[in-house]
Amino acid sequence: MGLSGHFRPSQEAPWVAADGIDPAHVQRLHEAHGIGMLQRLRGGFALALWDGDTLLLARDAFGQKPLYYAAKDGELWFGGDVRALREEGAPLGQIDRGALSDYLELLYVPAPATVWSGIRKLPAGHLLRAGEQGVEVRRWFELPRPGSSTVRPSRIAVRARLEEAVRAGLAPEASLLLTGDLPSLALLALTTRKQGRVRSFTPGADPLAHRMAERFRSEHRESKVDTIDELHGLLERAPEPLGDARALLLAASLRAMAGAPVITAAGGDELFGGHPHYLRAERLLHSRRASRAADLLKSIAPQRHRGRLQRAASALGTRGAGRARALVEVFSGDERRALLGHARSAQGATGTDALDADAAIAFDLEVALPDGTLAALQAAAASTGADVRAPLLDVKLAQTVVPAEARHKLGRAHGNRLLREAVADLLPRDALTPEPRPPLPLHAWLRGPLRSLLHDLVASPAARIRTLFDPRAIDSALRHSLLPRGDPRQAWALLALEIWVRAQRR
């Protein structure tokens, strides 16, 4: 059976349903080890198991597979997609205005919340047990805390874990998503070393990815994006609003791979500390005086600069989790209050005592990776029928590299230091320290092929989101985000939300 259902405690016949893993394998492990079977499962999975007494729902350690549920009056609905719950008659409720604040801040809604008031997401590494005694949600896996160990893992140990993870995650006839960053280039080198010539593909043109594909003699292809067609097809079918424009490129690339296994380097930058904002979090000056000055300038500066100044004030005046949040938020607190009338901070990582880069890595591993990056990847895969796997998201690899302090992961100008040292014998020098990938051309898209769509949907008085947000704040956000020095992610987020809301009300 598929991973969806409507559960009542009076059900009697045992059954197992799973996504990403063989249900028969789950059944055998459960019979042998009970709930301890979860520690023996590898890779991404979401599963449901009824043993005649208790319903068990579980999601893998990193959140590679989604799992939604709704509970009401002793009944429970579950599924890997909100549409599956809707088809089973689950009470979706209304669009949650608190979740909209999360979406505006981060471009996604972190678990356990969803955009629907009646639906919840099971967080990564969590399980749910339901029976006559009610519903219990708890962790079954605890990610290592970044910065919790002063011991630096050896290059040999990291390499051994990498090779083990890649070997376990390989699939026959799989194609590699090659994005030109170090984790994907390392995955290309390790995969070629293990199984010989591989297939690879890149969303758009990437000179470094193309050159490395030639070096390792992979069967390589580059995809093109029809922005308007891909946008509607992806966003209308997404289980929740999808504000990450990278999913558009992923969907375009995966469409050509429909039905075939695809391996990605998703999670590599989070495990090894490769994202550029980790360096900024670690090295940004901490000054309450500068923070107060930025906050004062915010009150007198033109409105188009106030969100940026508010984020600067927060980043300069805080450390740890507060700084990590300020470096990634899209709409500032004041901008969210203008749109919604209120603002809240989206749920963060539990390791809030970590400092600066370690705090940013903790937030990304627990929140941004499962509910942002992987959710966008799964939405793109679902829209194309591709089977996507992420071999670097391996528990043993994470336990080796994540606890190391940020100083062991960050170099002078690049992150991924432990990864770079582990694969130094496989890649040329320029591939070991690749330039940061250029941002997506959102300004060009929104002023070019998407200009009329943005005007007709979001700027229109009939826009659906004008019943959710203050129309004047919508117009102000559109106007300022499309200026040459504006943040086009804001206009993109509003457009993506409008397309999604329209699809829900048909």
Angle 397-400-402 from CA coordinates, rounded to 5°: 90
CATH number assigned to the domain covering 143-436: 3.40.50.620
Confidence band of 294 (pLDDT split at 50, 70, 90): low
Q: Which architecture, in CATH terms, is 4-139? A: 4-Layer Sandwich (3.60)
| Other CB atoms within 10 A of residue 124 CB | 26
Question: Cα separation of 253 and 14, whole Å?
Answer: 40
CA torsion, points 26, 32, 37, 43, in degrees to nearest 10?
-50
Provide the pLDDT confidence category of residue 435 given band limits of 50, 70 and 90: confident
- Judged against a pLDDT cut of 70, whether residue 10 lies above it is answered with no
Rounded Cα distance between 79 and 75, Å, is 14
Task: Report residue 346's pLDDT band, with 50, 70 and 90 as the boundaries.
Answer: confident
pLDDT value of position 8 = 66
Q: pTM of the full predicted structure?
A: 0.91
Measured CA to CA, the distance from residue 235 to residue 244 in angstroms comes to: 10
Lowest mean pLDDT among 1-15, 49-63, 373-387, 461-475: 1-15
Give residue 462's pLDDT: 93
Judge whether residue 1 has pLDDT over 50: no
- Residue 354 CB contacts under 8 Å (≥ 6 apart), including other chains: 145, 146, 147, 320, 321, 361, 362
Tell me if 4-139 shares its fold with 143-436. Answer: no
300 or 430: which leads in pLDDT: 430
pLDDT in tens, 406-428: 999 998 888 999 999 999 999 99
pLDDT of residue 2 exceeding 60 = no
State mean pLDDT over 494-500: 94
- pLDDT (0 to 100) of residue 132: 74
Q: What is the pLDDT of residue 326?
A: 83
Of 147, 168, 219, 212, the closest CA to residue 186 belongs to: 212
The whole-angstrom separation of Cα 59 and Cα 350 is: 18
Q: What is the mean pLDDT of residues 116-129?
A: 95
What is the distance, to the nearest Å, from the Cα of residue 141 to the centroid of all Cα atoms in its chain?
Answer: 19
**What is the pLDDT at residue 398?**
96
Structural domain spans, the chain: 4-139, 143-436, 439-506
- List pLDDT tens digits, range 302-333: 666 667 777 777 777 787 778 888 888 999 88
